[in-house]
Homo-oligomer: A and B are copies of this chain.
Amino acid sequence: MKKVINDPNHVVDEMITGLVTAYPNLLKRLPNTNVVVRTDAPAEGKVGIVSGGGSGHEPAHAGYVGKGMLDAAVVGEVFTSPTPDQVLEAIKAVDSGKGVLLVIKNYTGDVMNFEMAKEMAEMEGIQVDQVIVNDDVAVEDSTFTIGRRGIAGTVFVHKIAGALAENGASLEEVKSIAEKTIANVRSMGVALSACTVPAASKPSFTLAENEMEIGIGIHGEPGIERVPLKPADQITEILVNKILSDIDYERSEVAVMINGLGATPEMELHIVYRKLSELLGNKEIKIFQTWVGEYMTSLEMAGFSITLLKLDQELKNLLTGKVKTIAFHV
């Protein structure tokens, strides 16, 4: 597998250096860590919001650090949870006295390490709480997860919790809105090809030339089934139906994200959205706002995910509130 890298063992360090050098007005790196924070951290008078996880999912999560969204992203090795000491550094760097909320994607390693960091921070007198995002409706339990996995819906959680925190809400309020978002967001993906972790010599799995995997995880964890590649409209219908069967979206208003996993041309994402909007229209589900692009990738995996977030007026206001990050725009 060809990659534009130097030493496979230094990809994360070099990526972070590049990232904070490219966007010095938005981001800085905590010295001697893999933690990326807002340049104004700790932002005064607000709850700090920390997320993160393995790298390889860019722009998640450092692309969502900035005013109105995250205060810090903790960057793990590729597809590997960051260690508790790194998460602790992030917590300490963003706490302004109002406490810190951890937004954790539901993977066993992430949950364990973020919770350990939470305990360590509490011992240092910092108020910390957490939410766990599990928006992926594909499967219960999988390779790295007990329960459902957290995927692209996490970005909506960042935005909504980030907006409320920016308004000066308390830790309890910010946690509560994050939980409300999690309760209303559902996602599901499909892959057409695998990806290769830089330090590995070959892809972590293979898909035959005419095969796709429905419900795959963002690290290549098994999905629901491997089936022959179908036309875009049919793939879209499969994903949407699975999401809609999970909670009642009928006659509601939703935010939509069509998320490319890395190697899928934007053209194809728009073709998917065309069918999706038709399917939602048939169900009298109104689309409030749409994001089409790469928001939570799996290195150079081909495929995409669909995310739906059921909205009320409060969530709408927060979702479209002012934000200044590299990767999320309203």
Contact = CB atoms under 8 A, between A and B. Distances in A.
A40 interface: no
Interface stretch (A13-21, A96-104, A111-119, A172-180): A13-21
B265 A297 contact: yes
A235 to B, nearest CB: 6
Interface in A279-315: 290, 292, 294, 297, 299-300, 302-304
A112 to B, nearest CB: 24
A23 interface: yes
Contacts of A19: 270, 273, 292
Given A18-B273, A271-B4, A297 B266 contact: yes
A144 to B, nearest CB: 20
Contact of A193 (B2, B22, B58, B265): B2
Contacts of A273: 18-19, 21-22
Chain A binding surface SS class: mixed
B266 A4 contact: no
Given A290-B23, A300-B265, A274 B14 contact: yes
A65 B297 CA distance: 26
Interface string A264-277: 11111111111001
A209 interface: yes
Interface stretch (A41-49, A131-139, A161-169, A225-233): A225-233
A30 interface: no
B266 A294 contact: yes
Nearest to A231: B6
* Most B Cβ at <10 Å: residue of A258, A262, A268: A268
B15 A270 contact: yes
Contacts of A290: 22-23
A70 interface: no
Residue of A5, A18, A210, A262 with most partner-chain B CB within 10 A: A18
A29 B21 CA distance: 39
A271 B212 contact: no
Contacts of A274: 14-15, 17-18, 21
A52 interface: no
A329 interface: yes
Contacts of A304: 4
Nearest to A63: B266
Nearest to A23: B290
16 contacts: A2-B212, A11-B267, A14-B232, A15-B267, A15-B274, A18-B272, A21-B273, A22-B277, A58-B270, A262-B263, A263-B300, A263-B302, A264-B300, A265-B299, A265-B300, A329-B329
Interface of A: 2-7, 11, 14-19, 21-23, 55-56, 58-59, 63, 192-193, 209-210, 212, 229, 231-233, 235, 256, 258, 262-274, 277, 290, 292, 294, 297, 299-300, 302-304, 329
Nearest 7 A-B pairs (CB), nearest first?
Answer: A18-B270, A18-B274, A263-B263, A58-B266, A4-B268, A18-B273, A22-B290
Given A58-B265, A267-B299, A294-B294, 4 more contacts: A6-B232, A18-B273, A22-B273, A265-B297
